[in-house]
Amino acid sequence: MIVDLPATTVAKVQRALVKIREEGGAVALGRVLTLVISTGVGAEEEAIEAANAASREHPMRVLVLARDLTAAEPRLDAQIRVGGDAGASEVVLIRAFGDAGSDEEGLVTGLLLPDAPVVAWWPHEAPEVVAESPLGRLAQRRITDASTQPDPTAALHHLAATYRPGDTDLSWTRLTLWRAFLAAALDQPPFEPVTRAEVTGAADSPSTRLLAAWLGLQLGVPVSVPLAGRSTGSGGIHAVRLLRAPGPIALEREVPNIATLSQPGQPTHTVSLPRRSLRDCLAEELRRLDPDDLYGEVLIDGLALPEQATGAPGRPDGGS
């Protein structure tokens, strides 16, 4: 069910939600959190689709604040989606134009679920200091995505400079499968120390740099980062090589979704290593509401490690 509320107010949206619950169309019972999505007008549907899919695992209220501050006339339009149009969540979409969008906190505070955690997500442009922004101050967890910024590498370093416990970034979440495969490979014999590592990826892939930072921090070895030419969007990670005396461990993705894992004394394995969907990354981040301390360490301490970057070519594969 979709209820449109053109030229409305937050108070009218609140009353409409109460009416929908009273009429039995949807209830807030069982909602475990409020997800607040901040984006621009016209860019909200992809984020809503990901939130609806993630809500199968995390029933929640989704508040989407889409703003166009350049509009001359202040206006507030709203839409409430429940039932099949909202997955296992209830979606409140607020489109704010002109001065009507200037008070972010005031637009969402009255629509938060009572006594439930708040997670804020900026799918595109993030505030200057995420934790100190109006929505960031309301949230226990704050999710950004450096890969959507004009300069992803600069965005990563800015996130490091402004990091607060509770911040996280989807460029880190996209590394979960890579980290799992590499950790599992190191748990197998021969148990020889890694002497250096190499992470190959596209020049505009923040995940490549975060993976290199994680390896440098965890292994305490030099990590070189040969970068491919700049691609459209993030070309992602291409390969990781961990160098040891018996021979290298190599995890390489030469085609989308499939990687090869080779180790000394063992046959080469083909493994599934797809680019993680927005839904999967969001669902993972919603599983925890406490600070991700490892992400903070990698962002602050790992990125500060000396990075040996070269211009060696690589093969973009379209994902992390």
Q: What is the dihedral of CA 34, 160, 223, 268, to 10 degrees?
A: 10
pLDDT of residue 86: 61
Kindly report whether the global pTM for this prediction surpasses the value 0.95. no
pLDDT of residue 14: 94
Encode pLDDT of 187-202 as tens digits.
988 889 999 999 999 8
pLDDT of residue 190: 83
pLDDT of residue 231: 43
CA distance 56 to 59: 6
Smallest CA-to-CA distance from 309 within 183, 208, 232 is with 208
Residue 198 pairs in a beta bridge with 224, 241
CA distance 303 to 216: 9
CA distance 263 to 122: 40
pLDDT band at 313 (very low <50, low <70, confident <90, very high): very low
pLDDT for residue 314 is more than 70: no
Encode pLDDT of 287-306 as tens digits.
989 999 999 999 999 999 98
Integer-rounded Cα radius of gyration of the chain: 22
pLDDT for residue 127 is more than 50: yes
pLDDT band at 235 (very low <50, low <70, confident <90, very high): low
pLDDT of residue 58: 86
Residue whose entry in the numeric block shows the structure tokens 């005396």:
245
Encode pLDDT of 203-214 as tens digits.
889 999 999 999
Encode pLDDT of 132-187 as tens digits.
999 999 999 999 999 999 999 999 999 999 999 999 999 999 999 999 999 999 99
Backbone φ, ψ for residue 281 (5° rounding): -65, -45
Please tell me which residue, 236 or 67, carries the higher pLDDT value. 67
In whole angstroms, what separates CA 233 from the centre of its chain? 15
Across the chain, the runs of DSSP E, i.e. the strands, are 2-5, 33-40, 60-68, 75-81, 90-97, 118-121, 141-144, 167-169, 196-202, 223-228, 237-243, 249-255, 258-262, 269-272, 307-310
CA distance 18 to 36: 19
pLDDT for residue 27 is more than 70: no
Confirm if 153 and 147 have CB atoms less than 8 A apart.
Answer: no
SS3 32: coil
CA distance 169 to 296: 10
pLDDT of residue 169: 98
pLDDT band at 20 (very low <50, low <70, confident <90, very high): confident
Average pLDDT over the chain, rounded to an integer: 89
State the greatest distance between any 2 C-alpha atoms of the chain, in Å, as a whole number: 69
Encode pLDDT of 42-64 as tens digits.
999 999 999 999 988 888 999 99
